[in-house]
Structure 1
Amino acid sequence: MKINSKGLSNSEVVKSREEYGTNALVMVKKDSFFKQLIRSLGDPIIKILLIALGIKTVFLIQDFDWYETVGIVIAIFLASFISTISEYGSEKAFIKLQREAEAIKVKVRRDGKVLLIDINEVVVGDIILLDSGDRIVADGVLIKGEVSVDESSITGESKEVYKKPFISGLNPSDNNELLRGSVIYHGVGEMMVTKVGVNTFYGKISLELQEKQPESPLKLRLRDLAKVISRIGYVGAFLVAFSYLFSVLVINNNFDINRIVVTLSDTSLLFAYFLEALTLAVTIIVVSVPEGLPMMITLVLSSNMKRMLKDNVLVRKLMGIETAGSLNILFTDKTGTLTKGELEVVGVMFGNLDYYKEKKRLKSSITYYNILKKCILSNTNCVYDDEKKMWIGGNSTDKAVVNYLGEENYSVKKIKEVPFDSKNKYSYTKVIEENREITYYKGAPEVLLDRCKYYILPSGRSVPFVNKKRINDVIDEYAKKGIRVLMLGLDEGKGLSFISLLFIKDELREKVREGIELVRKAGIKTVMITGDNKVTAMSIARDAGIINSDRDVVLTSSELNRMSDDKVKEILPRLSVVARALPTDKSRLVRLSQELGLVVGMTGDGVNDAPALKKCDVGFSMGSGTEVAKEASDIVLLDNNFNSIVKAILYGRTIFKSIRKFIIFQLTVNFCAVFLSIVGPFIGVANPVTVIQMLWVNMVMDTLAGIAFSYEAPLLEYMEEPPKKRDEKILNSYMIHEIVFTSIYSFLLCIFFLKSPFIHSFFRNGKNDIYFMSAFFGLFIFMMIFNSFNARTSRLNIFANLLSNKVFLGVIIFIVIVQVILIYYGGDLFRTTSLSLKEIEIMLVCAFSVIPVEFLRKLYLKSKGKLGCV
């Protein structure tokens, strides 16, 4: 196996791609639009309807209107088509957006230059640079460095596997082979790619590894709710059929037993009655069974995905965004999340207390500058890109330090590298320099300073450390200003020598204080978890608004670990900061918070954060974080910004509210239709809405309403409400009150319209003719339209924030246009005919009455202090 340390040339990349293929994987094939359409036609409700129509066609073939059968079939197909097009398009957009945002970039060396490329561009022969937390994107062998690897996604065994460099001339073995899908736990190195794409071990089993995402808790709760409502619908359907048969067999025969017996003996008439009863029952089932409820999750999420991505929030797992709206406590990192993450070295202090702010002045002290350069450049994961003239790779601290040096480079033989560890709080590199072994250290002053026996003079000579107390005072002084301090040291074999302190500033992000205040108003406790020392952490927490009073508790990791679980639970409501934190602290805090019944959010970006991210209710990973952290998280913050967490919480609440608004609207129509169909036969109106009319009603309240409500805007006022409980039911008391009240009023309005002589007087031929029944069909639809304005807000002003949901207005306009067309041109198929202006006016006035009546209900509840919200 030939290894070229400079990597492939451009021509070799092209040749390799032609010979071995790309690194793209075969994705799980989703059902086509046609398959989804056929599946929707297999809906049990539609099957029942088609069977009923088939029976009617066969047995009443002589006087059956064929156009009605064809019309109903077309209506069924249109309803299914619109439903499928919405769901298929939403799902497709959702998957596409996720894939685009989750595209992984890798560092490769080509033609001696380090490049950042998409994983699909990797080819056989590429040299990939590896770092802690990286996900391996192709099969290959380690050719440089030593790393420990997590291969659990491939082997199922969650233990660290240590890899050593491949020795030229020997065959690759398990000791140096790296497999796609594995994760680098610790260490840095380089690998050469030997297999890509479908030829990798991961690629061969990729279809099996791509698991279908489990249904989210909210979707399951919606499904359960739909089942309950369906049962009610089936009972309602039975009652409708029974009431119709009771009406035609008993009431129409004036309760006369002899006449009833005669009617029962007429087989053809009896069968006609039973068939009509079956048709009515099916109509009720079509309306009452809320098959659109589970679809709402897909509609709402897909409609919000683009908006969320614009706000730099990527949802990886649906349950994450659902749960985000219910958070009680949020553990957040500091660097890059609360702060800008644009670390800048603002000064350097050496052991003789010489302070240098600018690099230009530091360069004048040649010895100090050279020692500083060697320590920094031998102890970093950053690589300088000559083409782009910039440093790439490494963490934010590494980048800040090397950018302070500028375009310097340093080549040295490294014997051993130990990367920064959150437990040890330092990293070191052992090098051979002028035939001497020197170890360069970089890390936290409180860990390294006490170990220093000497400090370096401007001449380069080491002398006993006499300024240690003064150095400690300087560290405290800068820490109080919120400036992070990093220490550099070296060991030539006689003990650690102090080189310098680096003062690193990272300013708070804009509006982060407002974001934390917004989260506090939302009833969410924010706790800052940081690797900074206690003094620095307190300074930043105060500036961010996390610490607001003397009662707020600030602990270091060691102080936290000395406390019992019960003691930590006791102080948790007042805990604001954990300084010098370890990843194990995060996991413990998550566990204890959950034991208190709290819904927990956690941010993280490193390999060691993965357990806590998996364990918490909502895991937020950073866009710049490791792939393993992203894999463990529910939501990725593409800009690493705390304010993006605020947006995720707001979107979570918005989605839940959108679904609740839809449920209010849908169940109001459901119950009104069921009540009307049950009572109708007893008041002489056996079939106020025909089967085909009911299919249009069903399309309006399921698919079209689902689209309309799914585009509700995220309003900041939602952040002033307390979090929803973890197990809060979808239907709350406010919703039940509105559904029951409005459905009863709508039902009574329909009865009044159907039976009132006053209403009949406005129509040219009185009651029960084609004009009157056309108006009643219009009343039912327009009543739904006006009530949709009531359902979308709990405010007295139903037009509040209406323009923020233009899709809602578009859907309403579409329904109005279609309804007008159906009234004037629906003909016998829809049992409609043209209405006069006077007839249209009385129909609209009656339908509009649901708005003032609902206004009075809200006004009454507000006067009693009981006006709630969805």
Structure 2
Amino acid sequence: MQKQFKGLTSQEVLESRRTHGENVLTPPVRESWWKLYLEKYDDPVIRILLIAACIAFLVGLAHNEYVEAVGIVVAVFLATTMAFVNEYKAGREFDILNQVNDDVEFKVIRDGEYRSVSKKELVVGDILLLETGEEVPADAVVEEAVALQVDESTLTGESKAVSKFPEDDPRGAEKREAGAYPPHRVYRGTMVQDGHGVFCIESVGDATEIGKTAREASAVSEERTPLSRQLDGLSKVIGVVGFGIAAVLFAVLSVHAALVGEIVMERGQWIFALILIVSVLVALVRVWLPIVYDFFDVIRRPKTRPGWLQQEGITAWLKPLLYGAVFFALASGAAWTLSALPSSPSNFLDADAGRRFLQFFMIAITL
């Protein structure tokens, strides 16, 4: 005997919405656009290129040539801006897609009449009617079903559709233990693959099964999966090999240029170049030192990283830059006092030699 459904009254709909909330999933918290943009500068390569731009600018001061410095800055700006725009645009399009999806209408019975209401207006207790090809908009209990087949792959990963029956249907008893979910319930995000049915909504919004899953997925977890550990190991190997090749290449190019006479400097200029290189290494310690620790991890002799190296934030990056500048000032001042440097600051570093070092640096980083 077919059931008679009257559905909720208008007053009951309001009461249900106040009690259980709307049928809307809480969107994930998104960072502000300026934070999203600044994150693009977290890439060590971007930071190295910015340092290279500063070095190119200082070298260009000697002959008023700033083309290389400007070129590096423009390249960094374009790379970071394009990455930011693509990520920001993707986030906006995802939000718009969700908003449009919430406006899709479904058939319900309210006040004894058939009505069409949007997904976000559905409430707990609504009598919902679904047919083949429609998405299940909320978690519900099957009241009536005719050859009902539901695709639950969004929740279970199983491509084969499962049969659904009312709770008092004896055909559902034998399938109760076989499936991941009870045969008399349907869940938001699944699809009606065949047949049709009548349902009573029991959970909406974040209280649905997919809402709980999304909330758990967005929570920060300290547990590392085997795949994530393997990917971390691979990235460490790539970083160590890449950094090693870059360092060796820079050293080989510099030594070769000095031996063949492409770089000709006096003793004091070589001392200044050494001071400059050490200062840059101090300033960029947060870039290359983690790679050194990664090397020990790769060879399975891990070392404990110091606390200051694990700190995050702009202050953690500004401190090494400040230390590098202080070291450069003190070392240069001491060397000049001891007459180890040329008498004129304009002769501390040969402009052509400085340009050569910068070229070798950019070649090593690029490769």
TM-score, L = length of structure 1: 0.24
Q: Distance in 2 between matches of 1:167 and 1:251?
A: 90
Is residue 278 of structure 2 the alignment partner of residue 279 of structure 1?
Answer: no
Matched, 1:126 2:134: no
2:47 maps to which residue? 47
Mapped to 2, the partners of 1:135 and 1:15 lie a distance apart of 26
Map of 2:278 onto structure 1: none
Q: Distance in 1 between matches of 2:364 and 2:121?
A: 54
SS at match of 2:6: coil
Quote the Cα distance in structure 2 between the aligned partners of 1:208 and 1:10: 34
Structure 2 partner of 1:136? 136
Name stretches of at least 5 consecutive residues in structure 2 with no aligned partner. 177-181, 219-237, 275-348
Partner residue of 2:189 out of 151, 159, 181: 181
CA contact (8 A) 2:254 2:357 kept: no
Q: Is the 8 A contact 1:49 1:282 kept in 2?
A: no
Instruction: Write out aligned runs for 1:4-153 (5 A).
Output: 5-52=5-52, 79=78, 82-83=81-82, 86-100=85-99, 102-103=101-102, 104-146=104-146, 147-153=148-154
Relative contact order higher in (CA < 8 Å, ≥ 6 apart): 2
| Alpha-carbon distance in structure 1 between the residues aligned to 2:357 and 2:31 | 34
Deviations 1:291-328 (A, max 9, x none): xxxxxxxxxxxxxxxxxxxxxxxxxxxxxxxxxxxxxx
Question: Relative to 1, partners in 2 of residues 1:282 and 1:138: Cα closer, same or farther, differing over 3 Å?
Answer: same
Q: Do structure 1's residue 203 and structure 2's residue 282 form an aligned pair?
A: no
Assess, with a 3 A threshold, how the Cα gap between structure 1 residues 18 and 280 changes in structure 2: closer, same or farther. Answer: same
Residues 628-667 of structure 1 mapped to structure 2, 5 A cutoff: none
Matches of 1:251 and 1:198, distance apart in 2: 68
Structure 1 residue 195: Cα displacement: 0.9
Deviation at 1:265, TM superposition (A): 7.4
Do residues 267 (structure 1) and 270 (structure 2) align?
A: yes
Supply the distance in 1 between the matched residues of 2:258 and 2:82 (Cα, whole angstroms).
37
Q: State the Cα distance separating 1:242 from its structure 2 match.
A: 4.2
Q: Give the superposition deviation at 1:85.
A: 5.0
Shift in Å, 1:282 = 4.6
Contact 1:7 1:111 in 2 (8 A): yes
1:244 offset after TM fit, Å? 11
Name the SS for the 1:37 alignment partner: helix
Report the CA distance between 1:186 and its aligned residue: 2.7
User: Secondary structure at the residue paired with 1:205?
Assistant: helix
The CA distance in 1 between the partners of 2:150 and 2:87, in whole Å, is 39
Letter of the structure 1 residue corresponding to residue 205 of structure 2: G
Q: CA deviation at 1:16?
A: 1.1
Instruction: Evaluate the alpha carbon distance shift between residue 280 and residue 160 of structure 1 in structure 2; reply closer, same or farther with a 3 A threshold.
Output: closer
One-letter code aligned to 1:109: I
Q: What stretches of structure 1 move > 6 A for 4+ residues in a row?
A: 53-57, 70-77
* Equivalent residue runs for 1:184-333 within 5 Å: 184-207=192-215, 242=253, 246=257, 250=261, 263=266, 267-268=270-271, 271=274, 272=349, 275-282=354-361
Within 2, Cα distance between the matches of 1:280 and 1:142?
A: 71
1:473-492 matched pairs, under 5 angstroms: none
Which one-letter code corresponds to 1:83 in the other structure? M
Deviations, residues 791-830 of structure 1 (Å, cap 9, x unaligned):
xxxxxxxxxxxxxxxxxxxxxxxxxxxxxxxxxxxxxxxx
Whole-angstrom CA distance in 1 between matches of 2:207 and 2:76? 44
Return the alpha-carbon distance in structure 2 between the equivalents of residues 278 and 251 of structure 1: 11
Unpaired runs of 5+ residues, structure 1, are: 211-226, 253-259, 290-870
| Cα shift at 1:192 | 0.7
Taking the aligned partners of 1:134 and 1:251, their CA distance within structure 2 comes to 73
With over 3 angstroms needed to count, the CA separation of the structure-2 counterparts of 1:78 and 1:159, relative to structure 1, is closer
Name the amino acid aligned to 1:90. K
1:330-345 aligned within 5 A: none
Cα RMSD (Å): 4.8
Contact preservation (8 Å) 1:245, 1:277: no
- Match of 1:268, SS? helix
1:676 match: none
Counterpart code for 1:110: R
Deviation at 1:187, TM superposition (A): 2.2
Aligned equivalents of 2:74 and 2:262: distance in 1?
A: 34
Decide which structure has greater strand share. 1
Shift of the 285–109 alpha-carbon distance from structure 1 to 2, 3 Å rule, reads: farther
Q: Is the 8 A contact 1:37 1:80 kept in 2?
A: no
Q: Supply the distance in 2 between the matched residues of 1:36 and 1:154 (Cα, whole angstroms).
A: 31
State the SS of the aligned residue for 1:149: strand
- What residue is the counterpart of 2:291 in the other structure? none
Paired residue type of 2:151: D
Q: Which amino acid aligns with 2:149?
A: S
Secondary structure at the residue paired with 1:117?
strand
Measure how far apart 1:162 and its partner are. Answer: 3.0
Cα displacement string for residues 578-606 of structure 1 (whole angstroms, at most 9, x for unaligned residues): xxxxxxxxxxxxxxxxxxxxxxxxxxxxx
Moved more, 189-198 or 103-112: 103-112
Contact 2:49 2:76 in 1 (8 A): no
Residue 33 of structure 1 contacts residue 84 of structure 1 at CA under 8 Å; is this kept in 2? no
Cα separation, 2, equivalents of 1:30 and 1:148: 37
Q: Cα offset for 1:101? A: 5.2
Provide the C-alpha distance between the structure 2 equivalents of 1:89 and 1:134, rounded to a whole number of angstroms.
31
Corresponding letter in the other structure for 1:87: N
Q: Is the 8 A contact 1:36 1:84 kept in 2?
A: no
Query: How does the TM-score come out when normalised to structure 2?
Result: 0.51
Structure 2 vs 1, CA of residues 99 and 188 (structure 1 numbering), >3 Å: closer, same or farther?
A: same
Question: What amino acid is the match of 1:280?
Answer: Q
Q: Contact 2:50 / 2:76 at 8 angstroms: preserved in 1? A: no
Inter-partner Cα distance in structure 2 for 1:139 and 1:269: 72
Q: Is the 8 A contact 2:253 2:360 kept in 1?
A: no
Checking the alignment, whether the CA contact within 8 Å between 1:142 and 1:178 is kept in structure 2 is yes
In structure 2, how many angstroms separate the alpha carbons of the residues matched to 1:84 and 1:46? Answer: 12
The answer to whether the 8 A contact 1:27-1:207 is kept is no
Q: Distance in 1 between matches of 2:55 and 2:82?
A: 27
Report the Cα offset of residue 154 of structure 1: 2.6
Q: Is the 8 A contact 1:141 1:176 kept in 2?
A: yes
Between the aligned partners of 2:56 and 2:191, the Cα distance in structure 1 is 64
Matches within 5 A, 1:568-717: none
What whole-Å deviation, never above 9, does each CA across 1:604-644 have from its counterpart, x for those lacking one? xxxxxxxxxxxxxxxxxxxxxxxxxxxxxxxxxxxxxxxxx
- State the 1:53 CA deviation: 6.5
**Shift of residue 198, structure 1, vs aligned partner:** 1.0
User: For the Cα contact (< 8 Å) 2:36–2:84, is it kept in 1?
Assistant: no
Aligned residue identity for 1:193: I
**Structure 2: distance between partners of 1:278 and 1:105:** 66
Deviation of 1:251 (Å):
5.4
Deviations 1:429-463 (A, max 9, x none): xxxxxxxxxxxxxxxxxxxxxxxxxxxxxxxxxxx
Query: For 1:115 and 1:48, how far apart are their aligned partners in 2?
Result: 62
Q: Which amino acid aligns with 2:42?
A: G
Number of residue-to-residue matches in the alignment: 245
The equivalent residue for 1:773 is: none
* Contact 1:41-1:80 at 8 Å conserved across structures: no
Q: Is the 8 A contact 1:264 1:270 kept in 2?
A: no
- Distance in structure 2 (CA, Å) of the matches to 1:105 and 1:285: 58
Alpha carbons of 1:202 and 1:88: their partners in 2 closer, same or farther (altered >3 Å)?
A: closer
Q: Which structure shows the bigger proportion of residues in helix conformation?
A: 2
Asked whether the equivalents of residues 49 and 72 of structure 2 are also in contact (C-alpha less than 8 Å), the reply is no
Q: CA deviation at 1:275?
A: 4.9
User: Tell me, what secondary structure is at the counterpart of 1:106?
Assistant: strand
Equivalent positions of 1:219-618 (< 5 A) are 242=253, 246=257, 250=261, 263=266, 267-268=270-271, 271=274, 272=349, 275-282=354-361
Q: Which amino acid aligns with 1:150?
A: D
**Following TM superposition, by how much is the alpha carbon of 1:191 offset from its aligned partner in structure 2, in angstroms?**
0.3
Structure 1 residues 152 and 87 mapped into 2: Cα distance closer, same or farther (>3 Å)?
Answer: closer
Give the match's secondary structure for 1:26.
coil
Q: What SS class does the counterpart of residue 278 from structure 1 fall into?
A: helix
Counterparts in 2 of 1:200 and 1:269: CA distance versus 1, 3 Å: closer
